[in-house]
């Protein structure tokens, strides 16, 4: 059995007063699906795209399919998400004032791909107005990618609050901090506990002792070897 304070720090429950997920070692999981659906609507709906061709605005998030979760293991956060999204958009041509509608599809937003590599498809209903479709393919796609980055940033910061539990300083580090020498004398900084923890070296001296017996050698020998003689002393 390990001595007190010398065991595997992953299992020292004293690191947290409530002994909850000590040192964030164990696997914990939090479902982010419902939160993500609300966040995606927040960052995507209402985006405005303007250019020389006209003005477009992203409307409702028509289709949201997928899931998201955040996991904690050994003090690290691991994210899983996979989404299939479809948005509507409407726009007005600047010169003619014509109004047109279309959709934006994001078939696979996941942790396997960077946002810049995520596929975004823009379509338009039949008729004129291809200038607005081109505007959505260029400026619109850029706006959508920025919104998706905002979602992922919030997922990794806002949603994960409280998942990494605070812990105290390691036992050895805490003791060393509390017993840091004041700089006055070596004796003031040495305690029995610090000796066990850090092995402080104490200065020592060598003592020589010599006993002188004022008696003849044969009498001294008799004292140590003959009981009848030693009993008289």
Q: What is the pLDDT of residues 107-144, one digit of tens each?
A: 999 999 999 999 999 999 887 779 999 999 999 999 99
| Cα-based torsion angle of the residue sequence 9, 13, 15, 16 in order, rounded to the nearest 10 degrees | 150
Residues 6+ apart with CB under 8 A from 43: 147, 148, 150, 151, 154
* Mean pLDDT on 58-63: 95
Apex 142 CA angle, 137 and 143, nearest 5: 105
| Residue 190 pLDDT level (bands cut at 50, 70, 90) | very low
CATH number of the domain enclosing 80: 3.15.10.20
Does residue 46 lie within any of the structural domains?
Answer: yes
For residue 74, being part of any structural domain is answered with yes
In a domain, 96, yes or no: yes
Instruction: List b or e across 5-29, with b for residues whose CB sees 16 or more CB atoms inside 10 angstroms.
Output: beeeeeebeebbeeeebbbbbeebe
Query: Which tokens go with 191?
Result: 């305690």
Residue 83 within any structural domain of the chain: yes
Range of the domain at 114: 28-159
Please count the structural domains in the chain: 1
**What pLDDT does 62 receive?**
94
Residue at 73 is within a domain: yes
Is residue 80 over pLDDT 80? yes
Is 14 within the bounds of a domain? Answer: no
Residue percentage of the chain with pLDDT more than 70: 69
Q: Is 45 part of any domain?
A: yes
Q: Look at residue 211 and tell me if it is in a domain.
A: no
Of 36, 17, 58, 4, which is closest to residue 152 (Cα–Cα)? 36
């Amino acid at each position: 059995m390990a001595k007190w304070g010398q065991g595997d720090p992953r299992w020292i429950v004293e690191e947290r007063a409530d002994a909850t997920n000590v040192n964030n070692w164990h696997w914990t999981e939090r479902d982010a699906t419902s939160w993500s659906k609300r966040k995606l609507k927040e960052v995507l709906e209402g985006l405005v795209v303007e250019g020389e061709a006209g003005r477009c605005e992203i409307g409702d998030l028509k289709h949201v399919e997928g899931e998201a979760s955040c996991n904690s293991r050994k003090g690290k956060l691991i994210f899983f998400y996979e989404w299939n999204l479809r948005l509507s958009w409407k726009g007005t041509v600047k010169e003619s004032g014509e109004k047109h509608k279309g959709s934006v599809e994001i078939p696979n937003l996941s942790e396997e791909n960077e946002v810049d590599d995520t596929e975004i498809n823009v379509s338009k209903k039949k008729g004129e107005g291809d200038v607005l479709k081109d505007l959505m393919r260029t400026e619109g796609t850029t706006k959508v990618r920025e919104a998706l980055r905002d979602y992922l940033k919030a997922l990794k910061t806002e949603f994960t609050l409280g998942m990494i539990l605070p812990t105290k300083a390691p036992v050895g580090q805490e003791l060393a901090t509390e017993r840091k020498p004041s700089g006055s004398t070596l004796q003031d900084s040495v305690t029995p506990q610090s000796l066990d923890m850090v092995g402080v070296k104490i200065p020592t001296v060598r003592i020589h002792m010599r006993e002188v017996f004022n008696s003849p050698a044969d009498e001294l020998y008799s004292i140590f070897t003959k009981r009848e003689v030693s009993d008289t002393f």
